[in-house]
Amino acid sequence: MAINLEQVGRIARLANIEISPGEAAQTSAALNGILGLIEQLQSVDTAGITPMAHAQEVAQRLREDCVTEQDQRESFQAVAPETEAGLYLVPRVIE
């Protein structure tokens, strides 16, 4: 498999990363280089193998339902790009 320019565009859209037409070819080449490395995966027969998503075989530990967090809006919003009336501001969202 190889990643063509159209796919680069699709991936960039999914990842929300702007790629100029000039960068697309270069990006596609770089991604295909990595893909070439990754393709070796296909050489192994993994039939019947259980996927391993975590580094350890443990069950999730659960938290008791207690509220321990205090309001820290001021300190959190001190590092925000744009806020008003306690809200984070973003360009208008159209539904």
Write out the binding residues for another protein, residues 4-63 only, by CB under 8 A.
7-8, 10-19, 27, 30-31, 33-44, 46, 49-56, 58-63
Exposed / middle / buried, residue 28 (Cβ in 10 Å: 0-12, 13-18, 19+): buried
What minimum distance in Å lies between the beta carbon of 1 and another protein?
A: 8
Cβ closest to another protein, residue 21 vs residue 46? 46
Map residue 15 onto helix, strand or coil.
Answer: helix
By CB under 8 A, how many residues form the interface with another protein?
73
Token pair listed for 76: 């959190």
